[in-house]
Structure 1
Amino acid sequence: MIKMSQAVASAVLVSAGLLCAGLPGGTALADSGPAGVTVEGSRPHITVVGEGSVSTTPDIMRLDTGVEVRRPTAGAAFTAARTAAADLTRALRAAGVAAEDLRTDELTLGPEFREYPTISGYRATQGVEAVVRDIDDADDVVEAAAAVGEAVRLRGISFELSDNSTPLRLAREAAFKDARSRAEQYAKLARRGLGRVLEITEQSVTPPTPVLGFAAAVDRASISPGRRDVSVSVRVLYELE
């Protein structure tokens, strides 16, 4: 589904005649907002900015999880964390996560103090990021991680697109169509014909930003990726006839 945004576009008509004599009907050209001006000799041009946005559904989930343990000694804490992390990895693999989609993203070991400098014990953590490439498996993966034991920590999830090339292409088409429509309107207001395209500049591309959050797997299919927008802004320079 393509949605056209209402972002502000800038348009300026420039020529030797327009600058000296004003627009047809005796109204002088006034610009109350930002604008770009391009002049080649006495030929008029118009610069517009068009925007296009495409709504799409993410198809990948990233699960940020890990383990955390506390033990009286550093060695015991580290060993317990490594064991718990191995159990977590096996559970994620059994739930369908591929080995190459598992990544260790944290490994810590340090003392905890009852009252400084008295050490009360040691805390060890190991983080694991799991990439779930089938959203339908999201609940099963989260449940498998949570079932490993009390050492497991579920920190959150994010969603993204595995391939944003198609929505980007559609957003570019929408942005260019928007720019054309704006240019035609301004050309008509200036009593001119819209000529050839002289320059196209892609000003900005906004891919779907990963949105963080966490939904506990209480009911089946409780985790939903929602929808995200892919947006493109394009600046187009037209010649006026």
Structure 2
Amino acid sequence: MDITVVGEGAVAAAPDVMRLHAGVEVRRQSAAEAFAGVRAAAARLAEALRGAGIAGEDLRTTELSLGPEYEAYPKVSAYRAAQGVEAVIRDLSRADRIIDTVAGVGEEARLNGVAFELSNPDAALREARDRAFADAAAKASQYAGLAGRPLGGVVSVSEEVDRGPQPMRVAAAMEDTASVSPGRQTLTVVVRVGYAFGE
């Protein structure tokens, strides 16, 4: 006879990378004007981000759209064009300055949100695994005691890892004047462990 228990381990860690979702948007009377305008604005935005220290490989186009806006269908009032970019910020102390750089591009600039992540979650995951396995072992030991049987060795192990960002609490801002705070994120490991019961 054996027993299978589920253990859970969670570790909170401070993110060290920010993904900034930004872009540009223009409205013009013709589609060609709108597209030319958004491409020019996007070039200014990319140049400004590179000038702020973002490496070329840390810039990625996330949207490119062009379409009509209607005053009353089918009458077109204008054409809207948009281009989005994701900028990876690896030094969080520069986050506010880079956001200000985007805003300084002009009235076409758009800020569409931020996401934080850990560049190397391995150490946190190792600690979460230790906690999950210890949790499983404690549960199995308790059940063995309740059953009046000695706990045998491990016969099976499987795990599930949640790498998604789960805000645990909001940390203090990086500086008194900083408007962007990465807070903390929780990485959770769930381990399913099978134990044999001794005789």
TM-score (norm 2): 0.90
Aligned-partner residue type, residue 127 of structure 2: L
Aligned residue in 2 for 1:115 = 72
| TM superposition shift of 1:194 | 1.7
Aligned-partner residue type, residue 51 of structure 1: E
Q: Quick check: 1:209 aligned with 2:169?
A: no
In the TM superposition, structure 1's runs of 4+ consecutive aligned residues that sit over 4 Å from their partners are none
Aligned-partner residue type, residue 84 of structure 1: A
Q: Secondary structure at the match of 1:82?
A: helix
TM alignment of 1:1-241, pairs within 5 A: 44-202=1-159, 204-209=160-165, 220-241=177-198
| TM superposition shift of 1:210 | 7.2
Aligned-partner residue type, residue 205 of structure 1: V
- Per-residue CA distance 1:127-147 (angstroms, 9 max, x = gap): 111111111111111010011
Aligned-partner residue type, residue 57 of structure 1: A
Aligned-partner residue type, residue 140 of structure 2: A
The unaligned stretches of length 5 or more in structure 1 are 1-43, 212-218
Matches of 2:166 and 2:153, distance apart in 1: 39
Kindly name which structure, 1 or 2, has the bigger radius of gyration based on alpha carbons.
Answer: 1
Which stretch of structure 1 is more off in the superposition, 193-202 or 147-156? 193-202
Task: Report the structure, 1 or 2, having the larger strand content.
Answer: 2
- Matched-pair contact (CA < 8 Å) for 2:166–2:186: no
| TM superposition shift of 1:73 | 1.6
The unaligned stretches of length 5 or more in structure 2 are 168-175
- Matched-pair contact (CA < 8 Å) for 2:21–2:84: yes
> Higher relative contact order by CA 8 Å / sep ≥ 6: 1 or 2?
2
Identity %: 54
Aligned residue in 2 for 1:3 = none
- Matched-pair contact (CA < 8 Å) for 1:55–1:227: yes
- Matched-pair contact (CA < 8 Å) for 2:24–2:109: yes
Q: Secondary structure at the match of 2:126?
A: helix
Q: Secondary structure at the match of 1:174?
A: helix
- Matched-pair contact (CA < 8 Å) for 2:166–2:187: no
- Matched-pair contact (CA < 8 Å) for 1:81–1:125: yes
- Matched-pair contact (CA < 8 Å) for 2:10–2:186: yes
CA RMSD of aligned residues (A): 1.5
Matches of 1:146 and 1:48, distance apart in 2: 52
Q: Secondary structure at the match of 1:120?
A: strand
- Per-residue CA distance 1:182-222 (angstroms, 9 max, x = gap): 111222222222221111121x21113277xxxxxxx7321
In structure 2, the CA distance between the partners of 1:113 and 1:46, relative to structure 1 (3 Å rule), is: closer
In structure 2, the CA distance between the partners of 1:117 and 1:46, relative to structure 1 (3 Å rule), is: closer
- Per-residue CA distance 1:97-146 (angstroms, 9 max, x = gap): 11111111111112222222222221111111111111111111101001
